[in-house]
Structure 1
Amino acid sequence: MTPTATSYESHPCFGMASRSRVGRLHLPVAPRANTRSKFADSTKIKPAMLPEEALRWMDQVVKDGNEIGIVGITGPGDPLSVPEPTLHTLRLVREKYPDISLCLTTCGLGAAPVAVELAGIGLSHVTLLVDAVDPAITEKMYAWIRPSTKTLPLDEAAKVLVDGQVAAVKAFKEAGITVKINTTVYPGYNADHVETIASTMAGLGADIMAVVPFWPGEAVGEFPAVPDMDLLEAVRDKAARHLYLMPAWEACGESLVGLTGTDRREAQAIALPKPTKERPNVAVVSASGMDVDLHLGHAVKALIYGPREDGLACLLEARDLPEPGSGEARWEELAGLLSDCFVLLTASAGQKPREVLSRSGLTVFITDGEIAPTVDVLYGGGKKGKKCKK
Structure 2
Amino acid sequence: MRADLAYTHAVPKAHRTGHTVALGVDWGLNTLLSAGTVQLNGEGRITALGAGAQFRAAGVLAKQHRLRRLSERLHTKADHYMRLIAGHDHQLAPKLDVLRSEIQHVSNRRSNLNDALAWAAARWTVDQAIAAGATVIYVEDLRSMEAGGMGRTLNTRLSQQVRGQIADRMRHLATEQGITVVTVPARNTSKLCPHCLTPLRHRKAPDRPTIAGWKWAICPHQDCRWQSDRDHGAWRRIAARGLTHQATTAYDHTSGHMAIRTVLDNLEANAVLTPTPKTNRKDRTKTGPTRPRSTRPAPRRRRAPSPARPHGPAGQRPEGHAHTDRTRLPRAAHRHQGVNTTSTPTTSRHRPRGAALGAGFHLHAHASPPRWETIPETQSNPGSPS
Range class of TM-score, shorter chain: under 0.3
TM-score (norm 2): 0.25
Larger Rg: 2
Scaled by the length of structure 1, what TM-score is found? 0.24
Q: Which has the higher strand share?
A: 1
